[in-house]
């Protein structure tokens, strides 16, 4: 789910419960803390590692998420930082046991919401890196983002009101449940339509659209399904591996590429992985790509393509048995 929805949900929930300003600020901070992984994700660009220093990685866990949120709470409660941030937003925080508890409550709320979306969260990392997801909402649900921005606009307009409007929470919660209900019903319709096929079903950016991934052993088949009209809107086929030269030499090059942490992380994040391998003058270009993301990019508008691109592929050059990530 998007950053604004996480912040808003924590804020209106805390306000509905009548939390005082410090505890409300702690809950909201915990609600957005996991998405502040941008503060550490750059490390992987400088020193590639398999240690989940990526978005929805290490900070989206029950264990590390708690300590990362405590670090953010500690920093945000320092007077120098509070004074700087006070220029932009009014809040009050302290580094107390009660605030720590509410920060972690915000983290748990964040993890629960992200669990309902595609790609999910690696809850039990570092013990296991499995991503848990209910695949009900899209990773970024546009209609929820729009609703969150509208509610935030109302809150800003009424920021001088002394008493919080509790109906706002009920309306937003009802809207969240309605959208969730439409999604759950749509997923059930997709499962019924593709009954008997070896498929995995994921919500797409449109409220009534679904991406369906089928693995037949030789290739990946990707379908677009419209739950409103109950029909397939598009389909694409992607070979699991395409080699433009010697398959034996390609396997040696691919083995070298598979040792790169960037490739391991790509495999961890991808819905599925297909490979294109080609050689020229003794070197190999190996393109790892996610067929579902590639199909989504081909069928989505320009607004969503930049967000999908970072998840779409990774290219590796292998020369003399040495692999490195290419452009």
Which candidate, 195, 228, 198, places its Cα nearest to that of 210? Answer: 228
| Pairing status of strand 283-289 against strand 274-280 | antiparallel
**pLDDT of amino acid 78:** 87
The whole-angstrom separation of Cα 224 and Cα 298 is 11
Out of 122-136, 158-172, 198-212, least confident range: 158-172
| Pairing status of strand 274-280 against strand 241-243 | parallel
**In which band, very low, low, confident or very high, does the pLDDT at 187 lie, cut at 50, 70 and 90?**
very high
The whole-angstrom separation of Cα 5 and Cα 145 is 6
The whole-angstrom separation of Cα 186 and Cα 171 is 22
Q: Is residue 219 within 8 Å of 239, Cβ to Cβ?
A: yes
Place of tokens 């915990």: 30
Residue 308 has pLDDT above 70, yes or no: no
Two structure tokens written together for 3? 């950053």
**pLDDT of amino acid 163:** 67
First to last CA, the chain: 29
**In which band, very low, low, confident or very high, does the pLDDT at 158 lie, cut at 50, 70 and 90?**
confident
Each residue's pLDDT tens digit, 46-99? 888 889 999 999 999 999 999 999 999 999 988 888 777 777 777 788 899 999
Domain residue ranges of the chain, discontinuous segments joined by +: 3-160, 182-238, 240-325
Residue 225 has pLDDT above 60, yes or no: yes
**In which band, very low, low, confident or very high, does the pLDDT at 302 lie, cut at 50, 70 and 90?**
low
State the DSSP string of 167-199. Answer: HHHHHHHHHHHHHHHHHHHHHHHHHHHTTTS-E
- For 187, residues 6+ apart whose C-beta sits below 8 A from its C-beta are 135, 136, 201, 203, 210, 227
The whole-angstrom separation of Cα 312 and Cα 307 is 9
**pLDDT of amino acid 301:** 59
Q: What percent of the chain has pLDDT over 90?
A: 62
**pLDDT of amino acid 327:** 64
CATH 1.10.1760 fits domain 182-238 = no
User: Span 283-294, mean pLDDT?
Assistant: 94
Cα angle for residues 1, 23, 89 (degrees, 5° grid): 70
Residue 16 has pLDDT above 90, yes or no: no
């Amino acid at each position: 789910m998007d950053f604004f929805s996480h912040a808003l949900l924590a804020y209106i929930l805390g306000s509905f419960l009548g939390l005082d300003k410090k505890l409300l600020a702690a809950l909201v901070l915990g609600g957005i803390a996991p998405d502040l992984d941008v503060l550490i994700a750059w490390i992987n660009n400088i020193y590639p590692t398999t240690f989940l220093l990526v978005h929805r990685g290490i900070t989206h866990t029950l264990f590390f998420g708690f300590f990362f949120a405590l670090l953010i709470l500690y920093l945000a409660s320092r007077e120098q930082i509070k004074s700087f941030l006070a220029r932009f937003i009014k809040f009050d925080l302290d580094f107390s046991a009660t605030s720590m508890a509410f920060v972690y409550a915000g983290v748990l709320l964040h993890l629960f919401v992200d669990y309902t979306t595609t790609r999910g969260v690696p809850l039990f990392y570092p013990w296991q890196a499995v991503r848990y997801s209910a695949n009900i909402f899209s990773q970024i649900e546009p209609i929820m983002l729009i609703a969150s921005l509208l509610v935030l606009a109302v809150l800003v307009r009424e920021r001088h009101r002394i008493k919080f409007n509790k109906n706002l929470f009920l309306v937003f919660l009802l809207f969240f449940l309605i959208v969730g209900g439409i999604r759950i019903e749509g997923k059930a319709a997709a499962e019924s339509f593709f009954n008997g096929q070896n498929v995995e079903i994921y919500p797409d950016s449109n409220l009534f659209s679904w991406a369906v991934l089928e693995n037949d052993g030789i290739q990946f088949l990707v379908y677009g399904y419209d739950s409103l009209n109950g029909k397939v809107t598009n389909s694409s086929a992607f070979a699991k591996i395409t080699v433009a030269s010697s398959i034996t030499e390609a396997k040696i090059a691919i083995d070298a590429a598979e040792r790169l942490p960037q490739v391991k992380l790509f495999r961890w994040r991808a819905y599925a992985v297909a490979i294109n391998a080609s050689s020229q003058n003794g070197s190999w270009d190996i393109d790892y790509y996610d067929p579902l993301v590639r199909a989504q990019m081909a069928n989505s508008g320009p607004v969503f393509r930049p967000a999908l691109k970072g998840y779409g592929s990774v290219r590796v050059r292998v020369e003399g048995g040495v692999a490195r990530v290419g452009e």
